Chains A and B, each alone.
Chain A
Amino acid sequence: MNLGISPKSRVSRLFRSPSFRALAALALVIAIGCVFNAEGTFFRWHTHRDMLRHISVFGILACGMTLVIITSGIDLAVGSVLGLSAVLFSLFSLQLGWPAWLAVPTCLTAGAACGLTSGGLIARFKIQPFIATLAMMVFARGLAKWVSGGRKISTAVQLADGSFEYREAPGVFRILGSKLFGGNIAVVTLIFLACALVCYVLLARLRLGRQLFAIGGNEEAARLSGVPVSAAKLLAYGLCGLLSAAAGICHAVQEQQGDPEAGAGYELTAIAIVVIGGTSMLGGKGGMGLTLNGAMAIGYLEKILSLNAVGEATRLMLTGLIIVGAVLFQKHRK
């Protein structure tokens, strides 16, 4: 309309956009890292590579969590499903010697089944997401312990006489646990980025993604506009379970074992990543780009605290403060 105004308004619009604010929060964390750089360690490439590797598992969980939170739901079971999948994958590949093409899809299916079950309880029986996924969180953890007999599943296989035999980890463990491009990027990081890309396309370009946004924004309006609400929710939780299982496989290959306790408390980190990114817990607003940002912000934060060997008590307090700070910072510009 007015040529004189439009560039300026475009700039102010950029400043107010959620993605810009999420980037600003990330920049803030990186700036902290530049100041407290632990004798220059922060500026070395492998610090960043290791941060990416470490955050990948959490990032994959956060991808699924984003889908669910956009429908104004929540999935507390991601950490437990991760543990279940880590145990199953280790059991299948390390101890039962299944080939990767069989073990990986089976674990992913198990994770998706967990997600679909919570989704079904939520979509069909109208149980609140918090409660349905809380039940699944407890159940999946129990299942992981039952399957593993409460022990970590590793390459050491107990024989009938009580002695142990060590098997070589199968190729899939080595490949997924390795780094590519001259050791410059971990395979799990690539898996994380691939998951993020798939979820990005889903949310930005697929009909299902649009439907998830509509459900989160106004479920009744979405239903009356012909959106298949139950099916869409079911798929969102199912995908979240599937991604949790993928994260579980990544966790297992990094640890070279399946720990039935793996992933305890990870759901909170995944939620923190989504929220710091700027996706609204009320649903309907957000996106994968934001979650990617949030994952980097949390990853750098943990890395900086770890590099400087900050004590546990201080770490917890600082993390709490920075989460609140980042969220307030995003709100402030409104």
Chain B
Amino acid sequence: MTAAQQTAPRLSAPVLRMTGIKKSFSGVAVLIGVDWALRAGEVHILAGENGAGKTTLIKILAGVHSDFSGTITLSGKPVRFRGPQDAAGHGIAVIHQDIAVVPSMSVRDNIFLGREIVRGHRVCFRAERDRARAVLGRLGLDIDSSRLLEDFPVSVRQMVEIAKALVHDARIIVMDEPTSALNEVEASRLFKIVGDLRSQGRAIVFISHRLEEIYRVGQTITVLRDGRAVGTFPAAELPPDRLVELMVGRAVDRLFPPRTAKLGGLLLQAEGVSVPDPSGIKPWAVEGLDFRLRAGEILGLAGLRGGGASELVHGLFGSFGKRVRGRIRLAGEAYVPQSPGCAIRRGLALLTNDRKSSGLVPTMSVGRNISLASLGRFSPWGWIKTGREAAAAGRLIETLGIKAGAADEVVANLSGGNQQKVLLARWLETSPKVLLLDEPTSGIDIGAKNEIYRLLDIWTSEGKGVLLITSELPELLALSDRVMVLHRGRFIDEFDRGEATQERVIKAAMGMENQA
């Protein structure tokens, strides 16, 4: 009957079973009867495209949504959570996709937020500090827990979320895309911790869009599609092609389309480029970098987070004003980064790695988000020609296949993939020569990724150049014509399409010498 029974009962009886879960938002059904079970000592992958219902299912489990139909059985007993605190009290810890920490509070206060260790009415800081140190140590993190969380990189915030789950001794730990903000090394450490937790007999639910990590950590995979569970399988018995097929509901001919663009003349030439460090910790985030980009070329930038790739593209784009040093020639003419407006006029476009904080204007419509970077064209003498603006937006919505009700729909209502396409449309409308793309596929589903890959190939065929940053190595290797590896803001190695492998790139990124 249900997919859950396709797996032979192996380890133990399920600790958690969700049956017949249905949930709709203002009349739109998001979950139409999901059945699945979770066992102790397993890492259970929930796979599915954006909008398949994974996040909603997790929120029901976390007690965020309490108005659903269906039953949840915990260790054989039916339960119904009244709210997140109630679910936490039952030993369920959820690490949400949007990291829910308070950066202006200390690490310790974040770990114990809402469940402080109290003696009488006073918070017992000493006990909290000791517990925090023990737990952080178990996660391989040696930091002072009384420092503010905002002083640490995003990866530490992720670890703090996990520490929160450990400290409350959760039996079930749910991680919703935990690696989206981590680099390779940090991700590896996370996978090790996940393995440890599993061997301690905890049950882990893991959501990811990255095929390689699904197979690296998961033992069981449940695939969700259109609000239904289409099946539960042992990871070993489900080949990647088949998994993608189940997720998309059709065969994706090839995840990475072949590169067809021909390389043209020299487009961007940089000598001795240095970019100041925006956080001010060190003087330069990028130092003395030389590189060239040809028309029609995708140059991949690899490196650990903090390696300087993001700062490099921001610096080229003028985000840091005139503080960038070095000689740059753009399409044969000298170029000095000054301001984003200036960069846009010279034919640069920057897709930032965080569409929420530095990409979308959530209060504006799809059409207005698209036209934002090219407003000048639609507004001679400052007067916006709304007809021309709407026509251009409509054209791009069609070309890029953005699924929006109308151009005047508020952009916040769109799915992640469509929002990303809106941003691509914004930059395409500026007719750029060079696209600076920082994590263009983060947090979007496989179908949308595939479309973006195709678009990249089309644009490079038109003679545009692309500087691509992505923390997904397979993507970087498949798309890039050349991969340049940065380590601590300096050039360390470069590979052509044929010679780049994951291993060589990682080694270079971590600062190890490669013997080519």
User: Is A in direct contact with B (CB under 8 Å) within the complex?
Assistant: yes
Which A residues lie at the B interface, using CB under 8 A? 205-208, 210-211, 213-214, 216-218, 220-228, 280, 283-285
Q: Is the CB of A218 within 8 A of B361?
A: yes
Task: Specify which chain A residues have a CB less than 8 angstroms from the CB of B340 in the assembled complex.
Answer: 223-226
A interface footprint on B374-385 (CB within 8 Å = 1, 0 otherwise): 011001001110
Interface-side segment among B82-90, B287-295, B362-370 = B362-370
Q: Would you call B344 an interface residue if the criterion is a C-beta within 8 Å of the partner chain's C-beta atoms?
A: yes
Q: Is the CB of B376 within 8 A of A227?
A: no
Residue of B nearest to A1 (CB): B405
Instruction: Give the distance to chain B from A284, nearest Cβ to Cβ, in Å.
Output: 3
Q: Which 6 A-B pairs have the closest CB atoms?
A: A284-B363, A217-B361, A226-B341, A217-B363, A207-B379, A225-B373
Q: Is the CB of A208 within 8 A of B382?
A: yes
Task: Specify which chain B residues have a CB less than 8 angstroms from the CB of A280 in the assembled complex.
Answer: 363
Task: Specify which chain A residues have a CB less than 8 angstroms from the CB of B379 in the assembled complex.
Answer: 206-207, 210
Taking chain B's interface residues, is the majority helix, strand, or loop, or is none over half, making it mixed? Answer: helix
Q: Is the CB of B358 within 8 A of A220?
A: yes
Which of A213, A226, A284 counts the most chain B CB atoms within 10 A?
A226
Instruction: Give the distance to chain A from B316, nearest Cβ to Cβ, in Å.
Output: 12
Which one of B350, B361, B384 contacts A214 once the chains associate, using CB atoms below 8 Å?
A: B361
In this complex, the interface size class of chain B, counting residues with CB under 8 Å from chain A, is: 20 to 34
Task: Specify which chain B residues have a CB less than 8 angstroms from the CB of A208 in the assembled complex.
Answer: 382
Q: Would you call B372 an interface residue if the criterion is a C-beta within 8 Å of the partner chain's C-beta atoms?
A: yes
Q: Would you call B426 an interface residue if the criterion is a C-beta within 8 Å of the partner chain's C-beta atoms?
A: yes
| Measured CA separation A221–B383 after assembly (Å) | 22
| Measured CA separation A218–B355 after assembly (Å) | 11
Instruction: Give the distance to chain A from B260, nearest Cβ to Cβ, in Å.
Output: 30
Instruction: Give the distance to chain A from B430, nearest Cβ to Cβ, in Å.
Output: 8
| Measured CA separation A226–B427 after assembly (Å) | 11
Which one of A205, A224, A227, A285 contacts B384 once the chains associate, using CB atoms below 8 Å?
A: A205
Q: Would you call B352 an interface residue if the criterion is a C-beta within 8 Å of the partner chain's C-beta atoms?
A: yes
Task: Specify which chain B residues have a CB less than 8 angstroms from the CB of A217 in the assembled complex.
Answer: 361-364
Q: Would you call B162 an interface residue if the criterion is a C-beta within 8 Å of the partner chain's C-beta atoms?
A: no
Which of B339, B361, B364, B384 counts the most chain A CB atoms within 10 A?
B361
Q: Would you call B220 an interface residue if the criterion is a C-beta within 8 Å of the partner chain's C-beta atoms?
A: no
Residue of B nearest to A218 (CB): B361
Residue of B nearest to A224 (CB): B340
Instruction: Give the distance to chain A from B407, nearest Cβ to Cβ, in Å.
Output: 14
Taking chain A's interface residues, is the majority helix, strand, or loop, or is none over half, making it mixed? Answer: helix
| Measured CA separation A189–B341 after assembly (Å) | 40
Instruction: Give the distance to chain B from A255, nearest Cβ to Cβ, in Å.
Output: 37
Task: Specify which chain A residues have a CB less than 8 angstroms from the CB of B382 in the assembled complex.
Answer: 206-208
Q: Would you call B360 an interface residue if the criterion is a C-beta within 8 Å of the partner chain's C-beta atoms?
A: yes
Instruction: Give the distance to chain B from A288, nearest Cβ to Cβ, in Å.
Output: 16
Task: Specify which chain B residues have a CB less than 8 angstroms from the CB of A227 in the assembled complex.
Answer: 341, 372, 375
Q: Would you call B359 an interface residue if the criterion is a C-beta within 8 Å of the partner chain's C-beta atoms?
A: yes
Q: Would you call B386 an interface residue if the criterion is a C-beta within 8 Å of the partner chain's C-beta atoms?
A: yes
From known contacts A206-B382, A228-B341, infer whether A222 and B375 are also in contact, taking CB-CB under 8 Å.
Answer: no
Q: Is the CB of B363 within 8 A of A216?
A: yes
Instruction: Give the distance to chain B from A168, nearest Cβ to Cβ, in Å.
Output: 43
| Measured CA separation A222–B352 after assembly (Å) | 12
Task: Specify which chain B residues have a CB less than 8 angstroms from the CB of A205 in the assembled complex.
Answer: 383-384, 386
Q: Would you call B453 an interface residue if the criterion is a C-beta within 8 Å of the partner chain's C-beta atoms?
A: no
Q: Is the CB of B372 within 8 A of A225?
A: yes
| Measured CA separation A83–B473 after assembly (Å) | 64
Q: Is the CB of B386 within 8 A of A221?
A: no
From known contacts A207-B376, A214-B372, infer whether A224 and B361 are also in contact, taking CB-CB under 8 Å.
Answer: no
Residue of A nearest to B357 (CB): A220
Task: Specify which chain B residues have a CB less than 8 angstroms from the CB of A214 in the assembled complex.
Answer: 361, 364, 368, 372
Q: Is the CB of B363 within 8 A of A213?
A: yes
Instruction: Give the distance to chain A from B406, nearest Cβ to Cβ, in Å.
Output: 10
Residue of A nearest to B385 (CB): A205
Q: Would you call B317 an interface residue if the criterion is a C-beta within 8 Å of the partner chain's C-beta atoms?
A: yes
Q: Is the CB of B362 within 8 A of A218?
A: yes
Q: Would you call B441 an interface residue if the criterion is a C-beta within 8 Å of the partner chain's C-beta atoms?
A: no
21 residue pairs from A and B, CB less than 8 Å apart: A205-B386, A206-B379, A207-B383, A207-B384, A210-B368, A210-B379, A213-B361, A213-B364, A214-B361, A217-B362, A217-B364, A218-B358, A218-B363, A221-B359, A221-B372, A222-B372, A223-B319, A224-B350, A224-B358, A226-B340, A283-B363
